[in-house]
A and B are shown apart, each in its own frame.
Chain A
Amino acid sequence: MTPRRRRLVLVLGIVAGVAIAGALALQAFRENVMFFFDPTQIANGEAPSGERFRLGGMVEKGSVVRQPGSLDVQFVVTDFQRTVPVRYRGVLPDLFREGQGVVAHGRLGPDGVFTADEVLAKHDENYMPPEVHRSLKTPAAAPTPAPEG
C-alpha cells in the first residue's frame, strides 16, 4: 500500500470505530438511563409502569413502618401535594430520616406502591438533591435548614 492509501484506510478505520462506539453508547444510554419523577407526576400518570425510574421527595413524617425484627420497611414519599407509598427490603442509608429528602430507585406496581431496590438519602443536613428541591412546589412547606448548632 502507498502511504496515502494506508492513511486513508487508517482514517476510515478510526471513523468506523468511533461510529460503532457512538452507536453502541447511545444504545446503552437509551436502555439504561433512569428518569426522575415526583409524586405529583406519578399521580398524573406520567411515570412509566414496569420500568425502573427514580422517585424523589420527602419522607412523610410518621410514615415509616417497619415489621419488627425484619428488613421490610414501608414509608411514604411526599411532595406536599401528592404521596406515593414505598416498599423496600434492605439496609437504609444513615441519613434516611422522616421529614428529610430521599431518592428511591425502583418500579411502580399496579397497586400504586413503589417497590424500591435502592434508597439514597442526601449527604448532609442542609443539602437536598436539586431535583427534589425543585419538585417541592410549595415554598412554605419546604423545610428550612436546621438552625446552627
Chain B
Amino acid sequence: MLPELGQFALILALLLAALQAFFGLAAPALGRDRWLAAVMPATAGQAVMVGTAFACLVASFVRFDFSVAYVAENSNSALPLAYRVAAVWGAHEGSLLLWITLLAVWTVAVAFGVARLPARFGARVLGVLGLVSFGFILFTLATSNPFLRLDPPVPDGRDLNPLLQDPALALHPPLLYTGYVGFAVAFAFAIAAMLEGRLDQTWAKWTRPWTLAAWAFLTCGIALGSWWAYYELGWGGYWFWDPVENASFMPWLIGTALIHSLAVTDKRGLFKSWTLLLAIIAFSLSLLGTFLVRSGVLVSVHSFAADPARGVFILAFLVIMIGGALSLYAWRAPLLRSNAGFEFASRESFLLFNNILLVIAAATVFGGTLAPLISDTLGLGTLSVGPQYFNPTFLLPMLPLIALVAIGMHANWKRGRLGERGRPVIVAGLMALAIAIALVFGYYAGRPGLALVSFALGAWLVLSSLFDPLDRLRRGLSMPRAIIGMTLAHVAVGVFVIAVTAVETYTVEQDIAMARGETAHVGGFDFRFDGVDAIDGPNYDGVHGVVQVTRDGTPVVTMHPEKRRYLVQQSVMTEAAIASQAGRDLFVALGEDLGAGRWSLRIQIRPLINYVWLAAALMALGGAIAASDRRYRHARAAAAVPANAGQGSTA
C-alpha cells in the first residue's frame, strides 16, 4: 500500500508543481492579480505531497518492504535502522527524491520569506522554484521511480553498498543537496528580478541570506564527503579531484564569488548584471553536477547509473533551464545599468578581482572535468585528468586571491586609498612571514619554496582578518553578525591554507610488508605490528590488526586497522585506524595477507589534516552567522533605497 501511496503523492506533487509554476509566472506576467492567491496553496500542497512521498519511501525501508525493487536493491534484513533510513538516498532513485524533498523544504522556507515581499515578485520566485520542482519530479517519475514493485518479491535485500554504511556518508548527501538546491533560490530570485526588469539594492538584501545559507550547507557537505573519503576509502587522501567532487566544488567556487558580488550589489548597487549571471551559473553548475553524476558519463565512485535515457532527460532539462535563463539574461541584463563609480584600490575593485580569480579557478576545474568527456565524444582518445593538472592550475589563481583578501578587507568602499588602514596590513604581513619561516625552518625542518609562500599567505589572512574586529572590540563598537561571520570565514580560509600546505608538503607515507613483531619507523614514530585477530560484526566479519605505536620508547597509542568482509555482497572493505593528535593524524590501513606470515600495511603521518575540515566547518559557521544578520531580517519591501544608504564596512 505504502509505495502506491508514495507514487500517487508524487504524481499529485507533479500536478501541484505545475500549478505553482503556472500561477506564479503567469499571474504577474498577465497582470491577473487574483491568480496570485493560488500560488501559496499550490506551493503548500506540493510540499505536503512531496513530503508524503518521501515518508512513504522511508517507511518502506524501515519496514523491510523487499517487494519494492529499490528497497530490495539497497537494504537488507540485517541492516541497522539508521542505515535503513540513510539507504533511502543510497542510490540514484532515492537521492533524486531527496533532492526534490529538500527543494520542497527550501520552497516552503522561501514562501514564508517572500510573504513580506511585493506579491508579484514573491509569486515569480515561487513560480521559478515550481518549474524546477516540476522538472525533477517528472524526471523521477519517468525514468527513476523508486516505488516500483518487484514481482515476485524477494525474501531479502541485496544490502546497502558497504562504502555507504557510515555516519558521515549518511549525512553527506542531504547536506550537499541542501547546498546544491539552495542555489535554486538565488536562481529563482535572479529570474524573478529579470522578469520584473528591475533590480535594486533591496533585491540583493533579500537574496544574500538565502545564498549564504546555501553556501554554508554546500561547504559542510563537501567537507563531510572529503572527511569520509579520508577515513573510509582506505587511501588516506582527502581530495582526489574526482569528477563528482569537482561537480560539487564548481558551484561552491561560483557560490563564493556570488556571495561577494551580492555584497557589492547590496552595499553599492554595482555589479548587478554580473551578480545575476553568477546566480544563474551557480545553479546551472548544480544542475550540471546532477547531470554528471546521474547520467554515469564520467567514471567515478559516485556514478550510480549508466542509463542513457536519464542522461538525455537531464541534458534536455539542463538545456531548457540554462538556455532559458541565459536568453532572459541576454534580453534583460542591459536594462540593469549601474550609475555609481569606484576608484581603483577601493573595496569594489578587490571584490571584482576576487570574483575574477574565483571564476578562473572554477573554469580550470570545469575544463579539467569535462575534457575527458569532450575528447571521448569527439573521438580524440580516452584520456583522464588528474591532480597533476588540477593542483597547479587551481593554485595559480588561488594564491593571489588569498593576498587580495588579506588586503582588500581593509579597503574602503568607493574610495581608493588604504590610508591609515594600510599599516596593520603590513604589520600582519611581516608577522605572517616570521611565522612561516619559523614553521618551515624550525618546526617542519625544510622543504621551503611553495610551502613558505602558502604558510605566509595563510597566516597573513588569519592575522589581517582579526584586526578589524579586535579594533571594534577595543573601541567598544557594535559587532554585527555579518562582521562576525565574515571574520570567522576569512580566518577559516587562512587556517585552511595553512593546514593544506602542511598536509601536502610534510605528509610521510609508506607501504610496507610486516610480519608479527616487526617494527616500522615512520616519521619519528615506531609502529610495531602485533598480528591480526578475527572480528565479527552485525553484517560483516573479518580481521583487525594490532599496531602498537611508540615514540622514543614512550607508548603513544594502540591502533586497530580492520579488514571487513560484508556478508551479503561479499565485498571487502578496509577500515583504516586513525589516531588524531593535536598536530597530526597517525593513519594505519591494513592491506592484505601477503603469505609467509606477513601483511601489507599502509602507514601515513599527516600533519594538521584535521584542521582542513575544522576550517571548512568554521567557514560554514561563518556563513550561517552572517546569514542570520539582523539587517536581512528587517529588509522589508522598501521599494527604493537611496544608492548610498547603508554603507557600513561589512562585505
A141 / chain B contacts, CB cutoff of 8 Å: none
Known contacts A25-B393, A148-B154, A149-B570: A33-B513 contact under CB 8 Å: no
Are A69 and B570 in contact, with the CB atoms below 8 A? no
Are A29 and B306 in contact, with the CB atoms below 8 A? no
Q: Which of B356, B513, B570 has the most chain A CB within a 10 Å cutoff?
A: B513
Pick from B315-323, B463-471, B589-597 the stretch touching chain A.
Answer: B589-597
B343 / chain A contacts, CB cutoff of 8 Å: 6
Known contacts A18-B360, A21-B397, A148-B158: A130-B306 contact under CB 8 Å: yes
Known contacts A68-B595, A70-B513: A123-B301 contact under CB 8 Å: yes
- Cα-based distance from A18 to B513 in the complex (angstroms): 49
Q: How far is the CB of B311 from chain A (nearest CB, A)?
A: 12
A29 / chain B contacts, CB cutoff of 8 Å: 367-368, 371, 385, 389, 393
Q: Which of B158, B396, B597 has the most chain A CB within a 10 Å cutoff?
A: B396
Are A69 and B598 in contact, with the CB atoms below 8 A? yes
Q: What are the interface flags for A1-42 relative to B under an 8 Å C-beta threshold, 1 for contact and 0 otherwise?
A: 101001000100010011001001100110111111000000
- Cα-based distance from A32 to B381 in the complex (angstroms): 15
Number of B interface residues in the complex (CB < 8 A)? 56
B600 / chain A contacts, CB cutoff of 8 Å: 71, 90-91
Q: Is A66 an interface residue (CB 8 A)?
A: yes
Q: Is A125 an interface residue (CB 8 A)?
A: yes
Are A94 and B573 in contact, with the CB atoms below 8 A? yes
Are A17 and B570 in contact, with the CB atoms below 8 A? no
Q: Is A51 an interface residue (CB 8 A)?
A: no
Are B568 and A149 in contact, with the CB atoms below 8 A? yes
- Residue of chain A at shortest CB distance from B296: A130
Known contacts A123-B163, A125-B569: A32-B371 contact under CB 8 Å: no
- Cα-based distance from A3 to B343 in the complex (angstroms): 8
Are B572 and A69 in contact, with the CB atoms below 8 A? no
- Cα-based distance from A148 to B156 in the complex (angstroms): 10
- Cα-based distance from A96 to B311 in the complex (angstroms): 29
- Cα-based distance from A18 to B392 in the complex (angstroms): 16
Q: Is B534 an interface residue (CB 8 A)?
A: no
Are B344 and A36 in contact, with the CB atoms below 8 A? no
Q: How far is the CB of A19 from chain B (nearest CB, A)?
A: 11
- Cα-based distance from A41 to B411 in the complex (angstroms): 59
Are B368 and A35 in contact, with the CB atoms below 8 A? no
Known contacts A21-B396, A24-B396, A91-B602: A69-B513 contact under CB 8 Å: yes
Q: Which of B423-442 contact A (CB under 8 A)?
A: none
Q: What are the interface flags for B319-354 relative to A under an 8 Å C-beta threshold, 1 for contact and 0 otherwise?
A: 000000000000000000000010110000100100
- Cα-based distance from A21 to B393 in the complex (angstroms): 8
- Residue of chain A at shortest CB distance from B305: A127
B596 / chain A contacts, CB cutoff of 8 Å: 68-69
- Cα-based distance from A129 to B242 in the complex (angstroms): 14
Q: What are the interface flags for B386-430 relative to A under an 8 Å C-beta threshold, 1 for contact and 0 otherwise?
A: 101100110011000000000000000000000000000000000
Q: How far is the CB of A115 from chain B (nearest CB, A)?
A: 15
Are B360 and A21 in contact, with the CB atoms below 8 A? yes
Are A35 and B388 in contact, with the CB atoms below 8 A? no
Q: What are the interface flags for A89-108 relative to B under an 8 Å C-beta threshold, 1 for contact and 0 otherwise?
A: 11111110000000000000
Are B389 and A28 in contact, with the CB atoms below 8 A? yes
Q: What are the interface flags for A48-81 relative to B under an 8 Å C-beta threshold, 1 for contact and 0 otherwise?
A: 0000001000000000001011110000000000
Q: Is B81 an interface residue (CB 8 A)?
A: no
B382 interface neighbour in A35, A92, A124, Cβ under 8 Å: A35
Q: Which of A130-149 contact B (CB under 8 A)?
A: 130-131, 148-149
Known contacts A29-B371, A29-B389: A36-B594 contact under CB 8 Å: no
A94 interface neighbour in B352, B511, B571, Cβ under 8 Å: B571
Q: Which of B127-183 contact A (CB under 8 A)?
A: 154, 158, 161, 163
B44 / chain A contacts, CB cutoff of 8 Å: none
Known contacts A25-B367, A34-B386, A36-B382: A94-B574 contact under CB 8 Å: yes
- Residue of chain A at shortest CB distance from B573: A94
B299 / chain A contacts, CB cutoff of 8 Å: 129-131
- Residue of chain A at shortest CB distance from B368: A29
Q: Is B641 an interface residue (CB 8 A)?
A: no
Q: How far is the CB of A126 from chain B (nearest CB, A)?
A: 10
- Residue of chain A at shortest CB distance from B563: A94
Are B384 and A149 in contact, with the CB atoms below 8 A? no
A123 / chain B contacts, CB cutoff of 8 Å: 163, 301
Are B571 and A125 in contact, with the CB atoms below 8 A? yes
Q: Is B515 an interface residue (CB 8 A)?
A: yes
Q: Is B628 an interface residue (CB 8 A)?
A: no
- Cα-based distance from A21 to B361 in the complex (angstroms): 9
- Cα-based distance from A148 to B303 in the complex (angstroms): 20
- Residue of chain A at shortest CB distance from B380: A35
Are A32 and B356 in contact, with the CB atoms below 8 A? no
Are A71 and B367 in contact, with the CB atoms below 8 A? no
Are B384 and A33 in contact, with the CB atoms below 8 A? yes
- Residue of chain B at shortest CB distance from A24: B396
Are B383 and A17 in contact, with the CB atoms below 8 A? no
- Cα-based distance from A33 to B397 in the complex (angstroms): 20
Are A35 and B515 in contact, with the CB atoms below 8 A? no
A68 / chain B contacts, CB cutoff of 8 Å: 594-596, 598
B234 interface neighbour in A3, A14, A54, A94, Cβ under 8 Å: A94
Are B594 and A69 in contact, with the CB atoms below 8 A? yes
Are A69 and B597 in contact, with the CB atoms below 8 A? yes
Q: Is B512 an interface residue (CB 8 A)?
A: yes
A70 / chain B contacts, CB cutoff of 8 Å: 513, 594, 598
Q: How far is the CB of B257 from chain A (nearest CB, A)?
A: 14
Are A33 and B371 in contact, with the CB atoms below 8 A? yes
- Cα-based distance from A68 to B601 in the complex (angstroms): 15
B392 interface neighbour in A28, A66, A124, A148, Cβ under 8 Å: A28
A36 interface neighbour in B296, B301, B381, Cβ under 8 Å: B381
A35 / chain B contacts, CB cutoff of 8 Å: 381-384
- Cα-based distance from A128 to B352 in the complex (angstroms): 44
Are B381 and A71 in contact, with the CB atoms below 8 A? no
Are B589 and A91 in contact, with the CB atoms below 8 A? yes
- Residue of chain A at shortest CB distance from B306: A130
Q: Is B364 an interface residue (CB 8 A)?
A: yes
Q: How far is the CB of A146 from chain B (nearest CB, A)?
A: 9
Are A149 and B569 in contact, with the CB atoms below 8 A? yes
B573 / chain A contacts, CB cutoff of 8 Å: 94
Q: What are the interface flags for B290-306 relative to A under an 8 Å C-beta threshold, 1 for contact and 0 otherwise?
A: 00000010010101001
- Residue of chain A at shortest CB distance from B359: A18
B352 / chain A contacts, CB cutoff of 8 Å: 10
Are A17 and B356 in contact, with the CB atoms below 8 A? yes
Known contacts A69-B595, A70-B594, A148-B158: A33-B569 contact under CB 8 Å: no
Nearest 5 A/B pairs, CB to CB:
A69-B596, A32-B388, A68-B595, A36-B382, A91-B591
Known: A71-B513, A131-B299. 4 other contacts (CB 8 A): A18-B360, A69-B594, A129-B299, A130-B306
Q: List 11 A-B contacts (CB under 8 A).
A: A21-B396, A25-B367, A32-B388, A35-B384, A68-B598, A71-B512, A91-B511, A91-B589, A95-B571, A124-B569, A131-B382
